[in-house]
Amino acid sequence: MGVLRAAGAKHIINYKTNPDLGKTAKEMTVGKRGANGVLEIGGPNTFKQSCAAASIKGTIAVISTRAGQSPGTQLPHTALLQTRRIMIGSRLQFEMNRVVEVNDIKSVVDGRVFGFGEVRGV
């Protein structure tokens, strides 16, 4: 939570200790309008609460979901907000991606399939 405070978060609500975080967020904001930005890390079980916490036109940044699950498949039609997925990885992965981008490295995938016995020849 210290990282969030250092990044400028005015209020931090822990979904583990406050399962009704949507209501709590509304109560913490002026006019009970909700948060302009919500950082969603709990996955499908907390996504509806994050929607409730966000203001109209608020942004929900989705950091992670559990494998095979989508966080926002059942959004209410009244949810006038944005969701943004943020991909995370190791620093090494980001460095590799930067090298690929800077050097304009293109992956060569031509659709050919090789049998296990052909691996040495490939």
59 and 81 in contact (C-beta within 8 Å)? yes
Alpha-carbon gap, residue 95 to 32, rounded angstroms: 42
pLDDT in tens, 58-83: 888 877 655 555 555 555 555 556 66
**What's the rounded mean pLDDT across residues 79-93?**
70
CA dihedral 36, 27, 33, 63 (to 10 degrees): 30
Burial class (CB in 10 A: 0-12, 13-18, 19+), 26: middle
Provide the whole-model pTM: 0.56
Structural domains counted in the chain: 1
Give the separation between CA 11 and CA 81, rounded to whole angstroms.
19
| Average pLDDT rounded to a whole number, residues 4-28 | 90
What's the confidence (pLDDT) of residue 28? 94
Asked whether residue 108 carries a pLDDT value surpassing 80, the answer given is: no
Q: What's the confidence (pLDDT) of residue 70?
A: 58
Whether the CA torsion 42, 48, 50, 51 is positive or negative: it is positive
Give the domain range for residue 21. Answer: 2-89
Is position 114 within any domain? Answer: no
Q: Is residue 110 part of a domain?
A: no
For residue 26, the model assigns a pLDDT of 94
Q: Please indicate, yes or no, if residue 66 is contained in any of the structural domains.
A: yes
The domain spanning residue 32 has which CATH number? 3.40.50.720
Whether 99 is in a domain gets the answer no
* pLDDT per residue as tens digits for the range 20-69: 999 999 999 999 999 988 988 877 788 889 989 999 888 888 776 555 55
Please, are residues 68 and 43 in contact by the beta-carbon 8 Å criterion? no
97 in a structural domain: no
Q: Residue 16 pLDDT > 60, yes or no? A: yes
Compute the Cα dihedral for 114, 119, 120, 122 and give only its sign: positive
Structure confidence at residue 5 (pLDDT): 85
